[in-house]
Structure 1
Amino acid sequence: MGAKWIKIAVVYFILGIAVGLFMSSTIQLQWAAAHAHVNLAGWASVGITGAIYSLYPKAGNSTLGKWHFWLYNIGLPFLLLSMFMIQVRPGPFAGWGMLTHIFTFGGGTAVAVGVILFIANVFLNVRASDRLT
């Protein structure tokens, strides 16, 4: 599972760079919160998770690891999309307030549950004796 996490992290890295370049070239700094979330919840957190699951493949391949993978990686795009939708007012998403809130709440909840499962997984399945050397 570690390699899957790392590959997804690279996608968020590219997206974070693209949003940063857009913000810089257009001086539209209202995207800063969404840009930070792409970089931290996407690139950094997903990459670190990939590194941990690469060092401890038993944890990454456990049931908790698989649930963590799916909840986090389905929830995060919805959460990030909603953060960008909030900034496009008035515009194509004006009047979509309820949908934006559903994306934020649903995506955020999936990510939060995924993080809780990750924490439980680390405490239950990460042992020094299981580490790849």
Structure 2
Amino acid sequence: MGAKWIKISVMYLVIVLAFGLFMHYTIQLQWTATHAHIGVVGWLTTGFIGLIYSIYKDAAETGLARAQFWLYNIGLPFLLVGMMMVYIDVPHWLCELFVSGGGIAVGLSVLLFFVNVFKYVKSTS
């Protein structure tokens, strides 16, 4: 499970770098918050979860870990697309649906991660 998280995080690294270059060359700096979320929640947090699950394999193989994986990786793209919708002309309700739906999914995923870590991560010494 850890390797899946790490591979997905590398995809977010490519996306955040490409998005940053887009912002730079078009001088469209209003996307800064979205860019930061792609980097921190997409690249760093996803990669860190992958490292934890690579070290603590018992935690990575639970039903909580699988539910967390799917909630996070379905919710995060919705959240990020919703954040981009703020700056383009879409109905407010649609933007709110993407941001709220994605954000709730990611938040629930983090809650599952919290429970999973405290339940299954044991000291190795």
On whether the aligned pair clears a TM of 0.5, the verdict is yes
Name the aligned partner's letter for residue 74 of structure 1. I
In structure 2, distance between residues paired with 1:88 and 1:33: 14
Partner of 1:108: 103
Partner of 1:71: 71
In structure 2, stretches of 5+ residues that fail to align are none
Return the offset for 1:46: 0.2
* CA deviation vs aligned residue, 1:84-120 (integer Å, no higher than 9, x gap): 111113xxx2xx2111101111100000000000011
In structure 1, distance between residues paired with 2:28 and 2:101: 27
1:34 matched to 2:34? The reply is yes
TM-score by length of 2: 0.96
Partner of 1:43: 43
* CA deviation vs aligned residue, 1:49-80 (integer Å, no higher than 9, x gap): 00000001110111111111011101000000
Return the offset for 1:41: 0.5
Name the aligned partner's letter for residue 73 of structure 2. N
User: Which of structure 1's runs of 4+ aligned residues deviate more than 3 A?
Assistant: none
- More displaced stretch, 38-47 vs 80-89: 80-89
3-state SS in 1 of match to 2:86: helix
TM-score by length of 1: 0.91
In structure 1, stretches of 5+ residues that fail to align are none
In structure 2, distance between residues paired with 1:17 and 1:81: 16
Alignment of 1:115-130 (within 5 A): 115-129=110-124
Partner of 1:83: 83
